[in-house]
Each structure stands twice: as C-alpha cells, then as structure tokens.
Amino acid sequence: MNSYEGKLFHVVTYGCQMNVHESEKIRGILSTLGMLETEDINQAKVIVFNTCCIREGAEDRAYNNIIALKKAKSIDPSKVIVICGCMSQQKKGKYNLKTKLPFVDIILGTHNINSLKEHLLNFDKSHVRIIEILDSATSSMDTEKCIRDDKVNAYVNIIYGCDKFCTYCIVPHVRGREKSRDPKDIYKEVKDLVQNQGYKYITLLGQNVNSYGKDLKDKTSFAELLSYLCKIEGDFKIKFMTSHPMDFGDDMIKVMKTESKIAKFLHLPVQSGSSKVLARMNRHYDIKHYMKIIKKLKRAVPNISLSTDIIVGFPGETDKDYNQTIKLLNKVKYDQVFAFMYSKRTGTPAAEFTDQIEDDIKNTRVNRLLRLQKIIQKDQIKKYFNKTYDCLIQQVNGVAVGITDGGKEIYIPNYRYDNQNYFAKVKVDSIRNHKLSGVIVS
Ligand code: SAH
Ligand code: SF4
Ligand code: F3S
C-alpha cells in the first residue's frame, strides 16, 4: 500500500507527438500505482508537466503554468509536482528549473521517465526532493503500460534521439543520440494494437525516422521495417513522422508506392526554400534535392497528401531567401504547412550567428506566408473532384464522413454509419462551399 493508491493524477503535455506519446506512458505508469486520472488539475494529488523547449514560447508557456501552482502547493503540501521532458534536460536554458522552482518535488530528464514509479514511491517515504537528469538512457524506454487517449490512431516509438544537429535545433541536445528499437519489439507492439485493440492507424515516431536501424546490428533500414510491419494482418494503415529529406531515398518511394498499408501522406519538413539558408541550417540537402523527392513521390504515389515545416527569419535570411520559400510553397502546394518564427536556443550554433533577424520582420514574413498558404489550400480543394480516396469511415456531427490519409473530410450523404471503424473507397462527386461530398464505391 502506498499513499497514491486511489488518488488522482493530472498530466500536462507540451510539444511534439513524441511528448504526447510519452505522456501516454506516464499515465500508464501512474495507473500501475493505483491512481486514477482527472481532468481537473486542482483535484490531482500528482501533477506531471511534460515539457518542451523547441521554441521560447513553448518554454514560457510551461514555466508560467508550473509557477501558477505554487500557491496550490503551499495550501496543500501533500500534492506532488513532477517536471519531466525536454525543458528539464536542458543544460543552459532560459529557466533554471532546479533553482527557480523549489516547490517542485521531482525533476526528471528525457531518458528516465520509466523510473517515475520508483521515484514517486521513494518520495512518498522520504519527502526529499528528487532530481535525476541522465546523459543517456540506461535501460529500455519501453514501459509496462501505456494509456492511449486516441482510439483510432496509436503512436509507436521506433527511434529515440537525433544525430542531425541542425544549427537551430535544441532536440539533439535534450534527447541524446539516436537509438533504434528492436524491429521485433515494434512488430509485437503494432500487432497487438491492430489485432487486439482495434487501432486503424499506427503512427511510427522518431525525430528522424529515416535514420532508423543505422545503430542496429543487422542494419534494418526504415523502408525494410515498413515492409516488415505491413505483413501484419488486419485492416490498418501506417503513418510515420518525421522524415528527413536527406535520408529519404528511393527505397522509401518504392515502399510507399507498393505497400497498400502505408498511408498516402507524408510530412517532409523543408525548413526553407533557399539552399543557402539550408546549408547554414546544416540540413545536408539543397532545394534541388528536395524537389526531386517531391516530384518522384507525386509520380509514384498519386493523390499523396503532403505537409511540411518552415522556419522564417533564420539568421541571415534575406528577402530573396524568403521569396524562395514563398516560391517553393507555390510550387509544391502542400496540404498543410507548419510555419515558425526562428527562436534562438541557447547552446545551439545558430544562436551565436551575428546576423539575427528582428522580430517584426519575422512576424511580417510568417504572417504573409500563412496568408499565402491559406489561399493555396483553398484552391487545392479542386484537385479532389472526381477522384477516389481510401478513407476511414467515421461519424462527424451525426453524418457519415470518409477521412482521407491526409485528414481531409468527405461527407457521404444518405449513408448509414454503423459505428464500426473501417476503410472504404470514397469518390468525391461534389464540392460546395469548400466542403467535399462523395459516395462509397467499394
Ligand atoms: N525532427 C523533426 C522535427 C523537429 S521539431 C525534423 O527534423 O523536422 C519540429 C519543427 O520545429 C522543426 O521541423 C522546425 O521547423 C521547428 N523548429 C525547430 N527548432 C526551431 C527553432 N529554434 N526556432 C523555430 N522553429 C524551430
Ligand atoms: Fe532538430 Fe534537425 Fe534533429 Fe529535426 S533533424 S530534431 S530539426 S536537429
Ligand atoms: Fe519539444 Fe522535445 Fe518534442 S523540445 S518538440 S518536446 S522533442
């Protein structure tokens, strides 16, 4: 018996899918202590902040929300406050969590969330503050249990860490070196999710999934892993993120073309349309290489949905560089673009570059880019007409809807949805007010 049993916990998550999935693992760990989840942070005995430090805004948000709990903790000292994730792993961040937040009870880095249970039990006995920030993982990152929120799409880690060291990015500094999971463990996990838990989409996660296997004895490549996972029987599809254009080879295009279980969707961050900027970002590809991949993909996988990440206002970005990014968006016509203003991260090379761009220029550039992308996206709707998409059939606001691999909704009028999750081919037969409608053709 421990004092956590039957009590409530609340997890606050910031950052990328990797963190979302790690929070699912944290919820699993807390449930093995006999705890129950609450939506209300004020009711919780254990509060976990799973943090992100990719940009200053993410850090500020987390910090302000943690500090807001100071009063609640002073009123009820039996509350246990935990911080984990990328912010706690930072060596030289804006906030020194250890000294600035003395009321926080447990601080863990990114390599040891699976020791959370042990730390909570120790804290329960001693009430002595625990700080454990390791330089690398000492054991497997797999946890005993994982409580997933989403019942349709399940995240599965395939590789941890990043060795790419893009000059703007904090991730390699807080997530450590690349470490691939054993393909057999991944296979087992995916098989269970699909065959026993009914998941329809499996999203494989890694900071750079294309680096998968380089550190394994048998050097299984990412494309090989995908083919292997497609052998699992069942009505499901595989997505993955994030792909790095540098290692996205022809083997990937081939597997995306031939395996029907791979979703027709790809998130391929370009970051900038200027090869000069890309070189300074240490991205290891130029725009010519990137466009070659896009061209081959569009040819091999018709109807593919594409998305990307862009950083505007990287040090030294001129109007000419920025206009090349605009040109690229007009050319590729992504279905979705995530655009960010460059944010200086202490400890990364770009933070030391002397040609930093002023905030108001970054602001103007990002807004103009997003406005343009909105127009492109609106115009893109035309391309769906008369085409057939393999969709997951769901119900949205009482109406049957087919959802494409890229997340586009196609309304299916007069179709009775029977509450089952299944894939079916939907042909778009009308577009009205930017909404798609269609019929099931198989
Ligand atoms: N591993 C992935 C994603 C990493 S973080 C990849 O390589 O693409 C997600 C996105 O955040 C990045 O693609 C990048 O566009 C953005 N990002 C990373 N560091 C940033 C910084 N310092 N300032 C602004 N955006 C940043
Ligand atoms: Fe960051 Fe680059 Fe690694 Fe992505 S590939 S996590 S942007 S260093
Ligand atoms: Fe943020 Fe860490 Fe992900 S810095 S974006 S939570 S890897």
The CATH number linked to 429 is 2.40.50.140
- Do 264 and 341 belong together in one domain? yes
Q: How many domains does the chain have?
A: 3
- Do 21 and 53 belong together in one domain? yes
**Per-residue pLDDT averaged across 212-219, rounded?**
96
Q: How far is the CA of 192 from the centre of ligand 2 (A)?
A: 30
Cβ atoms < 10 Å from Cβ of 340: 17
Q: What is the DSSP letter of 153?
A: E
Residue 1 has pLDDT above 80, yes or no: no
- Do 356 and 423 belong together in one domain? no
Q: Which of 357, 382, 407 is the last residue in one of the domains?
A: 382
Residue in the block written with tokens 């706690």 = 88
How far apart, in whole angstroms, are the C-alpha atoms of residue 163 and residue 149? 30
- Do 26 and 96 belong together in one domain? yes
Average pLDDT, the chain: 95
Range in 135-149, 229-243, 249-263 with the lowest mean pLDDT: 135-149
CB 289 within 8 A of CB 249: no
Give residues (CB < 6 A) around ligand 1. Answer: 54-55, 168-169, 171, 207-208, 242, 244, 269, 271, 309, 311, 340, 342-343, 345
Structure tokens at 82: 């935990």
- Do 189 and 324 belong together in one domain? yes
Instruction: For residue range 104-136, list pLDDT tens digits in order.
Output: 999 999 999 999 999 999 999 999 999 999 998
Q: How confident is the model at residue 80 (pLDDT cuts 50, 70, 90)?
A: very high
Q: How confident is the model at residue 96 (pLDDT cuts 50, 70, 90)?
A: confident
Q: How confident is the model at residue 208 (pLDDT cuts 50, 70, 90)?
A: very high
The CATH number linked to 332 is 3.80.30.20
The CATH number linked to 109 is 3.40.50.12160
- Do 243 and 366 belong together in one domain? yes
The residue whose C-alpha atom lies closest to atom 3 belonging to ligand 3 is 16
Q: Is 164 in the pocket of ligand 2 (CB under 6 A)?
A: yes
Residue 420 has pLDDT above 90, yes or no: no
Give percent above pLDDT 70 in the chain.
100
Residue 418 has pLDDT above 90, yes or no: no
Q: How confident is the model at residue 141 (pLDDT cuts 50, 70, 90)?
A: confident
The residue whose C-alpha atom lies closest to atom 1 belonging to ligand 3 is 52
| Its pTM surpasses 0.75 | yes
How far apart, in whole angstroms, are the C-alpha atoms of residue 57 and residue 59? 5
Instruction: Tell me if 148 is assigned to some domain.
Output: no
Q: How confident is the model at residue 277 (pLDDT cuts 50, 70, 90)?
A: very high
- Do 273 and 291 belong together in one domain? yes
Pairing relationship of beta strands 159-160 and 179-180 according to DSSP bridges: antiparallel
Q: How far is the CA of 329 from the centre of ligand 1 (A)?
A: 18
Instruction: Tell me if 268 is assigned to some domain.
Output: yes
**Domain hosting residue 159, numbered range:** 153-382
Q: How confident is the model at residue 31 (pLDDT cuts 50, 70, 90)?
A: very high
pLDDT of residue 262: 98
Q: How far is the CA of 78 from the centre of ligand 1 (A)?
A: 38
CB 297 within 8 A of CB 253: yes
pLDDT of residue 144: 83
- Do 361 and 297 belong together in one domain? yes
Q: Which residues contact 270 (CB under 8 A, 6 or more apart)?
A: 245, 287, 290, 308, 309, 310, 328, 332
The residue whose C-alpha atom lies closest to atom 2 belonging to ligand 2 is 166
Instruction: Tell me if 341 is assigned to some domain.
Output: yes
